[in-house]
């Protein structure tokens, strides 16, 4: 499949992802004067963020969102926003109105999800329909989850909300999450997955099968991601099996 590229290792993925993100940014800024980027959580994106931080770009035209977040304080080591701040956003000296963190200071994960959805809709000036991000970065867990859409959990089948609260999945950390739902992810102009490591082999094999079926028939959350625009998977040899 031409939307799957296999690299020797995680460094190869990070370099290819860096070039893809920069090209998407250039195109988005040329077309609309802004690059609305959704960052991924977990550990895989760290190398990409570190590489991006060393580049030169029209950073002032970039807007940063988070596709899913752990419902923990922003300075908690488990926070996806902390990873992004520490590896990328602080290096860019991105100013506060460019960074759209999940409002984890809300009293519950549900209220954080509702508030984030409101902020996203307001950012897109409450335009009709589902907001279209220029690029959404995603990872995949060994159970095939993506963002915080876990197999068998209600958030995976959410079609009314753009952002939902999600109970902890089976994979750590066992905390409530706030996550983009499939309707918001699938409205994106581009989605880029990064997956590395032998622990992802089984799930990625399932995704390969899923991509030959309809989203409804897909067996994994990651396999249900079919953006209106481009879908690209960057994996290493270990994950590709």
The residues of the shown chain that bind ligand 6PG, judged by CB under 6 A, are: 40-44, 68, 70, 80, 139-141, 145-148
**Least separation, in Å, of the C-beta of 41 and ligand 6PG?**
3
**Least separation, in Å, of the C-beta of 40 and ligand 6PG?**
5
3-state per-residue secondary structure call for 87-141: HHHHHHCCCHHHEECCCCCCCCHHHHHHHHHHHHHHHCCCCCCCCCCCEEEECCC
| Chain residue at closest Cβ approach to ligand 6PG | 139
Query: Strand pairing partners for 7?
Result: 236
**Least separation, in Å, of the C-beta of 166 and ligand 6PG?**
10
Tokens representing residue 88 in the block? 């990328």
Residue closer to ligand 6PG (CB basis): 61 or 86: 86
**Least separation, in Å, of the C-beta of 68 and ligand 6PG?**
5
Residue closer to ligand 6PG (CB basis): 44 or 85: 44
Residue closer to ligand 6PG (CB basis): 68 or 134: 68
Spell out where the chain has E strands.
4-7, 35-39, 62-66, 68-70, 99-100, 135-138, 163-166, 177-180, 190-195, 230-236
**Least separation, in Å, of the C-beta of 145 and ligand 6PG?**
6
Q: Tell me the pairing of strands 163-166 and 177-180.
A: antiparallel
Residue closer to ligand 6PG (CB basis): 43 or 212: 43
């Amino acid at each position: 499949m031409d939307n799957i590229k296999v690299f020797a290792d995680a460094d190869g993925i990070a370099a290819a992802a860096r070039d893809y993100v920069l090209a998407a940014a250039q195109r988005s800024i040329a077309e609309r004067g802004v690059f609305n980027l959704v960052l991924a959580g977990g550990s895989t994106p760290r190398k990409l963020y570190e590489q991006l931080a060393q580049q030169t770009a029209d950073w002032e035209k970039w807007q940063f969102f988070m596709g899913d977040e752990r419902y923990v304080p922003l300075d908690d080591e488990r926070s996806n926003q902390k990873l992004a701040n520490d590896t990328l956003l602080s290096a860019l000296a991105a100013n506060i109105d460019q960074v759209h963190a999940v409002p984890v200071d809300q009293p519950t994960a549900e209220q954080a999800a509702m508030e984030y959805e409101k902020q996203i809709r307001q950012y897109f000036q409450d335009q009709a329909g589902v907001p279209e991000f220029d690029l959404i970065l995603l990872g995949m867990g060994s159970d095939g989850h993506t963002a915080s859409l876990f197999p068998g959990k209600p958030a995976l089948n959410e079609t009314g909300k753009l952002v939902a609260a999600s109970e902890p999945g089976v994979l750590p950390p066992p905390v409530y999450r706030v996550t983009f739902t499939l309707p918001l992810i699938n409205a994106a102009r581009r989605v880029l997955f990064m997956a590395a490591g032998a622990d992802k082999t089984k799930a990625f094999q399932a995704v390969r099968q899923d991509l030959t079926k309809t989203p409804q028939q897909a067996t994994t959350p990651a396999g249900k991601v079919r953006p209106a625009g481009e879908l690209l998977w960057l994996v290493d040899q270990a994950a590709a099996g």
